[in-house]
Amino acid sequence: MTLEEQVYTFGTGENYRVQHYLGVHPLDGEKGFSFRVWAPHAEKVQLIGEFTDWRANPVEMQRNQAGIWEVDTDLAQEGQLYKYLITRSGGQVIEKIDPLAIYFERRPGTAAVVTSHSDYQWSDQLWLGRRKRLGFKKRPVNIYEVHSSSWKQKEDGSPYTFKELKEELIPYLVKMNYTHVEFMPLMAHPLDMSWGYQVMGYFALEHTYGQPDDLKAFVDACHKENIGVIVDWVPGHYTQNDDALAYFDGTPTFEYQDHDRAHNYRWGALNFDLGKNQVQSFLISSALFWIEEYHLDGIRVDAVSNMLYLDYDDGPWVPNKDGGNRNLEGYHFLQKLNQIVKSYHSDVMMIAEESTAATPITQSVADGGLGFDYKWNMGWMNDILRFYEKDPIYRQYDYNLVTFSFMYAFNEQFILPFSHDEVVHGKKSMMHKMWGDRYNQFAGLRNLYTYQICHPGKKLLFMGSEFGQFLEWKYSEQLEWSNLNDSMNAKMQYFSSQLNRFYKEHKALWQIDDSFDGLEIIDADNKSQTVLSFVRKSDKGEILLCVFNMTPVERRAFTIGVPVFGIYEEILNTEREEFGGVWKENNPETKTELGEWRDYEQTLTFTLPAMGASIWKVKRRIKKKKP
């Protein structure tokens, strides 16, 4: 686009590569750089930096008809720091960041770095081609969620950069058989305590994690190992620090005009005005920038409820023009976001972190939905964790906590998350949530993770949960890797790796995640024994029989109806010794017997391990003999 077209489409909300215009750019064929910043109601904007001795010799910028201030200068050099000195309406002078900067100095400083876009040479064409050809809907998706600063740290307590994570995290992902890694926000933010969710720079990699090319090399290496990379992104709210986006030119620039709508009282942040055209250009450009610049395989949009509902926050609110609580601007923005991203990258996952059922999230925009690919199933997560925290003697009375999710399993396209939110603020770690002594806690955790793997929906697990870390997650400390000196934790880690491998190897667990074509409930009424059983199916007729004993009582000669007559083989038993249990070997191969059991004409009888999950496949089908 020409400069005139860039300006025009920015103002209409249709410039989806705004970083090509705003920000800092090398001058074509000349020494120096051009600088552009949107500050429509500023009285004056000046460029300051190391090349002006900061405020000593500021460079005057000129305002165009769109409220964009610009200047070309040969004073600036690659790698130097800069800011904008803005004179606000009323005369107040304040230093501001460049909202389009792609790199900032190390905290606590907030100056941007004069940085040209790199010409990193990618080598992931095979992965991208396969991703485009196969997509992700009918593929295994098992996500390891990571907070970059606290997965592992150096001896001095400083976090790994992506250069170091490339050498340590990727081999771990391979060893643990995950298909994807998802990072909590990697965008520049001023305070670790926010975990990255109060963003300052929407186009900038957080300095703590290294150089932009380090992240590119990490993603490139992940793709060579057939691991996809997803990043959390926060288009709803941002840090209210005065030198960042907040009231950028002295008036509501990125935020709503209305004070209460602009302020996010719950999180101490500011809300984007999602109905403003320039904000839409800014945010959609940010999403596409991360997808295209870093070859991401997915974006998880944080806090969708905050963008959808006017009454989601703790502060006062006013109904919309129809008298309801829906944030119409947020609703239409999210539809637009997904439509635009999908028009360019149909093979990139768009994921919503959203906790209500009032708005269809993964339905198409044409049908009134938001057009996301997946929604975190927060209801399933809350119910199932409440159930597994209970004393097994009482579980029969709350059996619906396990079975209710089957009533709505295909209302949306779901990811089943055990995320960072479940292991902080006194909620206890995943292992510590489990009932009983240490042995039963690990048995319960193996049972729970197997249930997650077998239940329809894609999967997500937060780091440390895979080996049963006992302590809650702390954002400022690395995981309790010393736990692995304990054989129970080491066996739990091994179990998680084998369960993940099991998931990848069996199409019945991931090929049909969107309908009852891939699921057959056998018995969801066995409250007294607290045993759940169902079948998962592939599109070629492969079936897996999944049986879960949710009490510490071994069920000998347990009989259940099955859909196929033949010889069955137990292919996963969570109570095997190598996983931390007591079974030395699996159940023997077992032939079905003729006999009516509910709607089935044949039964399977075996020993169901205490607090265990037992998964069977048909080893050989046998033609039924007439009675």
Q: Report d(CA 383, CA 13) in Å as an integer.
A: 41
Sign of the dihedral through C-alpha 431, 432, 436, 438: positive
Report which secondary-structure segment, H or E, holds 233. Answer: strand 228-233
Q: Report d(CA 196, CA 147) in Å as an integer.
A: 9
**3-class secondary structure per residue, 181-224:** EEECCCEECCCHHHCCCCCCEEEEECHHHCCHHHHHHHHHHHHH
Q: Report d(CA 105, CA 394) in Å as an integer.
A: 55
Q: Is 273 a catalytic residue?
A: no
Report which secondary-structure segment, H or E, holds 162. Answer: helix 162-176
What string of DSSP letters covers 249-260? TSS-SSB-SSHH
Whether the Cβ atoms of residue 441 and residue 434 lie closer than 8 Å to each other: yes
Q: Report d(CA 247, CA 33) in Å as an integer.
A: 26
Whether the Cβ atoms of residue 536 and residue 508 lie closer than 8 Å to each other: yes
The residue whose two tokens read 């007294």 is 528
Contacts of 469 (CB under 8 A, 6+ apart): 429, 430, 431, 479, 480, 483, 489
**Phi, psi values for residue 60, rounded to 5°:** -75, 140
Distances (CA, A) of 291 to 131, 287, 598: 14, 6, 51
Catalytic residue among 98, 220, 273, 353: 353
The residue whose two tokens read 């607290």 is 530
Query: Is the bond leading into 627 cis (omega within 30 degrees of zero)?
Result: no
Q: Could you tell me which of 553, 510, 533, 509 has the C-alpha nearest to residue 614?
A: 533
Contacts of 266 (CB under 8 A, 6+ apart): 313, 314, 315
Q: Report d(CA 459, CA 37) in Å as an integer.
A: 41
Q: Report d(CA 33, CA 490) in Å as an integer.
A: 54
Catalytic residue among 98, 249, 255, 302: 302
Q: Report d(CA 170, CA 160) in Å as an integer.
A: 13
Residue 391 DSSP symbol? -
**Phi, psi values for residue 271, rounded to 5°:** -95, 135
Q: Report d(CA 19, CA 22) in Å as an integer.
A: 5
Q: Is 302 a catalytic residue?
A: yes
Q: Report d(CA 454, CA 507) in Å as an integer.
A: 11
Buried b (16+ CB within 10 A) or exposed e, 395-427: beeebebbbebbeebbebbbbbbbbbbbbbeee
Whether the Cβ atoms of residue 208 and residue 159 lie closer than 8 Å to each other: yes
Residues taking part in catalysis: 302, 353
